[in-house]
Structure 1
Amino acid sequence: MKIYNRNKSVKTLVAICAMAVCAMTFHSCEQFELDEVPGRANLAVEPYNSIDELELAVNGIFGKLNKAAWMTTFYVNGWAGDDMTTHRESNKADFREYDQRNVAATNGRSATNWAGVYAMVKAANTVIINSEGVDFPSDAARQKELLGQTYFLRGLMFYHLARVHGRIVLPLDLEIDFERELATQEEVYQQIESDMLTAETMLPAKTNVGASDPNAGSARAILARLYLDWAGYPVKDASKYAMAAASAKQVMDNAGTHGFALVPDMATLYTVEGRFNTESIFTIAYCASCGLPNRKNGKLGLPSDYATQGWQETFAEIRYFEDMPEGPRKDATYHTEIPLDGPLPGPADPDQESRATSDVAGAISFLPWTSFIDQTQPIFRKIVGPFEEGTFSGFQSDRNDYYMRYAELLLIYAEASGEAGSAGADAWQALNDVRNRAGLEDVSAADGTIQDLAYLERKWELAGEYLRYNDLVRKEQVEAALGGTARDPRVSINTLTDQPITKETNAIIGSTAPSNYFAPRPQPEVDRNPNLAN
């Protein structure tokens, strides 16, 4: 169920659905369990008889990834960052718990995410175990790549869940064990490292544009991110900074071989047309017409009032928006107004100007975010998409997820090199390459340490990509970013002079101390295995 590129977007899905005589409805094809071949269910320890069986099983893992990631539940801890917030009421309670650092063990999004991730882990373990001692000499290269993909996805899912919950269980077999112990944080990182190192040796140097099929550079780039986390809280092994820098540099030195590069115009990343590109180090690909829609874009990032009738799930934090440097990156990150249909609303007050504007007579009219009624927040262009594309009118699309971008890798290299004391001209160049695309001038040692400058640059570059909170955790900056008045906007939304400064939406009600950095493991899982409560 992988999507290789825009020209081959339905190749694997069509093949799989044909096997199931899948001239079925959208819903039926979505429900088909792709990693189960008759006689070889994913709990069966039975060696594969052909490369086709192995490929179908690995395709099933990718299918489970799509099912786990197609909704924002997959990135639920993203709302804990200071870059994004959710609706103050409505049915967004699970997101608000993360937003307000008050996550309960009964959080339904946590439970769904946990289940989806471990379904992938189980499927990956099945592939690995059923492949033991099996060789397909005439398809040796393909067999090796499929196993490399399996190790990559298993390591990625352990990593994904560890960033939410910290310590997790590490099942590497198919046993149903309700007494399985939590691994230490160090053991979790070691297992992720092992899987990624194995994947790197088995994956080809280059696959498709966008790397929806991961390549060796994809695995090494994830290792760079892992080592950066490992160097920070909670393990704080500073020796890993050098390993993060070395891993990032290895990918940079071979970027052409892997097919990685910054795209010239950042705004093109967040379009349907530009969804397969050289900047993506690993892509989770979608195809709505194939029954694999992405439901994290469009209406989910819009307010509910006016013609857009958005689902008000994701909004931009005002203070963060105010602080971001102006330029093409900010323009690519946010929408500051929404298009209107029908008559323009009149002035809210005789002393105020009209709340809507029109670019030219008879053309589309736009309403500024400061006039949104239901919730007055800027919105993410990264999530809504460009209005001219039209995806904002629906809640599912062909837009892809970039699990990691090359821009992040460049910033990892700059930051980790600085922390390791090895930053040279190439590290400054990596940082400035990202800044220059954003319309910003070069920085140098006269402006501060490279690690601090790179960390700040990540704040702006990765806004709205569900990654900011992970940076706050590893740097132990949660209180600094979320505590006190740190999130308070600096301006009044209402232009009348007697109105008070706007307050943040969804004020923090939980602790911002390290003891509350990670979300509790889901209560249903704890009920089955009390060891998860430790």
Structure 2
Amino acid sequence: MKNYKNKKSIVKRLAYAGLFVAISATVLQGCANLDPDPVEFNLPPESFASLTDFDKGITGIYSTLLSAAQWTTFYAASWAGDDITTHFASNKADFRQFDQRVVQSTNGRLLNNWNAIYNIVNTANSLLERSQGMENLDVDQDRLNILIGEVYFLRGMALFHATRVHGKIPIPLTAIPDPNIGLSEQVDVYLQIESDFMEAEMRLPDVYPGQEAGAPRPNKGSAKSLLARLYLDWAGFPVKDVSKYTSAATKAKEVIDNAALYQFELSANLEDLWKVANRFNNESVFTISYCGSCGFNTANLKDGILGLPSDFGGWQETFAEIRYFEDFPEGARKEATYRTDLDYTTFSDQKSPIFKKIAGPVDDLPAAAFITDRNDFYMRYAEVLLIYAEASGRSGASSADAWEALNMIRRRAEGLPYASADSSIDVTSGDLAELAFSERKWEFAGEYLRWFDLVRMEKVEEALIARDSPGAIQEHNEIQGSLGTSNYFSPVPQAIIDLNPNLGN
């Protein structure tokens, strides 16, 4: 006789801890094998009967990812960087904790993000278990292989997102996780993410069939690109395995050499990326796509009005930091990054610069836009090029191709054709790694990446002290917490620790 009462209690604990399968109601209605009744999880998992059911289950992962990423909560940790800030008052207290380096375990954004990530992970675990045995069915085995690779990609992406925020994290790999699971060491987390991305790389096609540009469903190049990003982090703090710089450069070069095959390329004009009409484009190597016209639950809810001050009826959530803006090199890239038509020094409320990447180009979004169709470019091909340049430099392999990867970004930053050599812009000597690292600073301003670069290179104190140096206009949210490495990662949410004390170690 099953001990139903005890198992029901475990399921309840997992559900509240964000370590339980979450599938959207619309997907559940069309996929009986994903019945949300917790009792079903007391029974041996059954294989999917068809690829259609398996595909619907994957749609459930995307639904969970979209519902998380459509809010700025998904990227809240990035407010700790020196490029992004928030309002000094109003209802932005959770964001200010990151901004000021005093993140509490009771931070609501932290808990919501944790739950969303582990819903993705455990949905993926359930789908992988239910796909077992399908190789014995009369189904398209090539399509089955692609779907399995896609699940591995999404699980790896979710775990990678979590570890960049928290450092050590639990790694549940079964549909019903161990309710007493503990935190894994950082290197073990990286090894699991690497394994997932490598499975995805092996199984995914060069181009996912029937998809828009920008890989809204990942392809082989998407997996390689995120592997390159993973290796770059792995080589830095906290693991500091410098051999991974070679791995990062190698994997990035594989993407570059096959960019046409994967349908990746730089946009000729950087500003075009932020226009709604270009929400699907070949520069994105993995896109989280939204549909504002389809309804609130499928819209992007973190752009437009959230990036404007109260002077323009804005909700004042995502601003640019002053020192960063003032130091930003003049030229086409600065114009593509910021709304320089709005003089922040004249604002009546908070005097902070405005990101064009958030508020949108002039007249591109409707006035007071909150519900938008804008997509998230979770990783851009520009980053692949800069990873190749930086990792090549740090591994002592500063080839001509690596310099060219850097120069392509430098040319476009000046509004020039990126593929045409220009002696007034190009560099071919010096410290390639540091030049590429500096280029990342400007290229990805306001894209929620800067904080993670500061962490891996242990430059948090240097960057955040520099922003308040003499001559700079005082930032509105002053640093209150430690800038040391012990304060780089956010705590596990207290609500999660209350359910499983092992996660507080």
What's the TM-score once normalised by structure 1's chain length? 0.84
Pairing 1:275-424 to 2, within 5 Å after superposition: 275-291=279-295, 292-305=298-311, 308-338=312-342, 368-424=343-399
The one-letter amino acid paired with 1:199 is A
Q: Structure 1 residue 143: deviation in Å?
A: 1.5
1:400-433, Cα deviation, whole Å (9 max, x unpaired) = 0000000011000000000111111000000000
Q: Tell me the residue number matched to 2:116.
A: 116
Q: Tell me the residue number matched to 1:512.
A: 483
Q: Tell me the residue number matched to 2:11.
A: none
The one-letter amino acid paired with 1:126 is S
> Would the aligned equivalents of 2:338 and 2:357 in 1 still touch at CA under 8 Å?
yes
Q: Structure 1 residue 387: deviation in Å?
A: 2.2
Q: Secondary structure at the match of 2:32?
A: coil
- Residues 35, 413 of structure 1: CA spacing in aligned structure 2 closer, same or farther, 3 A cutoff? farther
CA distance in 2, matches of 1:526, 1:503: 37
CA distance in 1, matches of 2:341, 2:266: 28
Q: Tell me the residue number matched to 2:4.
A: none
The one-letter amino acid paired with 1:397 is T
Q: Secondary structure at the match of 1:147?
A: helix
Q: Structure 1 residue 176: deviation in Å?
A: 4.3
Q: Secondary structure at the match of 1:276?
A: coil
- Residues 142, 426 of structure 1: CA spacing in aligned structure 2 closer, same or farther, 3 A cutoff? same
Q: Tell me the residue number matched to 1:41.
A: 35
Q: Tell me the residue number matched to 1:477.
A: 459
Sequence identity (%): 52
- Residues 517, 107 of structure 1: CA spacing in aligned structure 2 closer, same or farther, 3 A cutoff? same
The one-letter amino acid paired with 1:437 is R
Task: Give ranges in structure 1 of 5+ residues lacking alignment.
Answer: 1-29, 339-367, 492-500
Q: Tell me the residue number matched to 1:185.
A: 186
Q: Secondary structure at the match of 2:377?
A: strand
Aligned length: 462
Q: Tell me the residue number matched to 1:237.
A: 241
> Would the aligned equivalents of 2:322 and 2:473 in 1 still touch at CA under 8 Å?
no
Q: Tell me the residue number matched to 1:488.
A: 468
Q: Tell me the residue number matched to 1:527.
A: 498
Pairing 1:18-37 to 2, within 5 Å after superposition: 32-34=25-27, 37=31
Q: Tell me the residue number matched to 1:125.
A: 125
Q: Secondary structure at the match of 1:379?
A: coil
- Residues 179, 419 of structure 1: CA spacing in aligned structure 2 closer, same or farther, 3 A cutoff? same
Q: Tell me the residue number matched to 1:346.
A: none
In the alignment, structure 1 residue 442 sits paired with structure 2 residue 425: yes
Q: Structure 1 residue 303: deviation in Å?
A: 0.2
Q: Secondary structure at the match of 2:389?
A: helix
1:259-291, Cα deviation, whole Å (9 max, x unpaired) = 000010000111110111110000000001223
In the alignment, structure 1 residue 85 sits paired with structure 2 residue 111: no
In the alignment, structure 1 residue 426 sits paired with structure 2 residue 373: no
In the alignment, structure 1 residue 75 sits paired with structure 2 residue 75: yes
The one-letter amino acid paired with 1:47 is S
Counterpart selection for 2:251 from 247, 250, 253: 247
CA distance in 2, matches of 1:442, 1:90: 44
- Residues 31, 240 of structure 1: CA spacing in aligned structure 2 closer, same or farther, 3 A cutoff? closer
Q: Structure 1 residue 112: deviation in Å?
A: 0.1
> Would the aligned equivalents of 2:393 and 2:431 in 1 still touch at CA under 8 Å?
yes
CA distance in 2, matches of 1:145, 1:328: 40
Q: Structure 1 residue 66: deviation in Å?
A: 0.4
Q: Structure 1 residue 33: deviation in Å?
A: 4.9
Decide which moves more: 464-473 or 33-42: 33-42
CA distance in 2, matches of 1:33, 1:230: 38
1:464-484, Cα deviation, whole Å (9 max, x unpaired) = 00000000000000000013x
> Would the aligned equivalents of 2:411 and 2:426 in 1 still touch at CA under 8 Å?
no
1:69-126, Cα deviation, whole Å (9 max, x unpaired) = 1100000111000001000001000000000010000000000000001011111001
Q: Structure 1 residue 488: deviation in Å?
A: 2.7
- Residues 160, 227 of structure 1: CA spacing in aligned structure 2 closer, same or farther, 3 A cutoff? same
CA distance in 1, matches of 2:279, 2:365: 15
Q: Structure 1 residue 445: deviation in Å?
A: 4.8
The one-letter amino acid paired with 1:508 is I
> Would the aligned equivalents of 1:300 and 1:313 in 2 still touch at CA under 8 Å?
yes
Q: Structure 1 residue 525: deviation in Å?
A: 0.3
- Residues 77, 35 of structure 1: CA spacing in aligned structure 2 closer, same or farther, 3 A cutoff? farther
> Would the aligned equivalents of 2:214 and 2:280 in 1 still touch at CA under 8 Å?
yes
Pairing 1:148-297 to 2, within 5 Å after superposition: 148-207=149-208, 208=211, 209-291=213-295, 292-297=298-303
- Residues 383, 235 of structure 1: CA spacing in aligned structure 2 closer, same or farther, 3 A cutoff? same
The one-letter amino acid paired with 2:156 is G
Q: Tell me the residue number matched to 1:496.
A: none
CA distance in 2, matches of 1:482, 1:35: 46
- Residues 189, 439 of structure 1: CA spacing in aligned structure 2 closer, same or farther, 3 A cutoff? same
Q: Structure 1 residue 31: deviation in Å?
A: 6.2
> Would the aligned equivalents of 2:284 and 2:379 in 1 still touch at CA under 8 Å?
yes
Q: Tell me the residue number matched to 1:4.
A: none
Q: Secondary structure at the match of 1:54?
A: helix
The one-letter amino acid paired with 1:294 is N
Task: Give ranges in structure 2 of 5+ residues lacking alignment.
Answer: 1-22, 416-423
CA distance in 1, matches of 2:502, 2:405: 44
CA distance in 1, matches of 2:272, 2:266: 11
- Residues 372, 490 of structure 1: CA spacing in aligned structure 2 closer, same or farther, 3 A cutoff? farther
Q: Structure 1 residue 231: deviation in Å?
A: 0.2
Q: Structure 1 residue 175: deviation in Å?
A: 2.2
Q: Secondary structure at the match of 2:363?
A: helix
> Would the aligned equivalents of 2:33 and 2:48 in 1 still touch at CA under 8 Å?
no
Q: Secondary structure at the match of 1:283?
A: strand
> Would the aligned equivalents of 1:384 and 1:392 in 2 still touch at CA under 8 Å?
no
Q: Tell me the residue number matched to 1:466.
A: 448
The one-letter amino acid paired with 1:150 is V
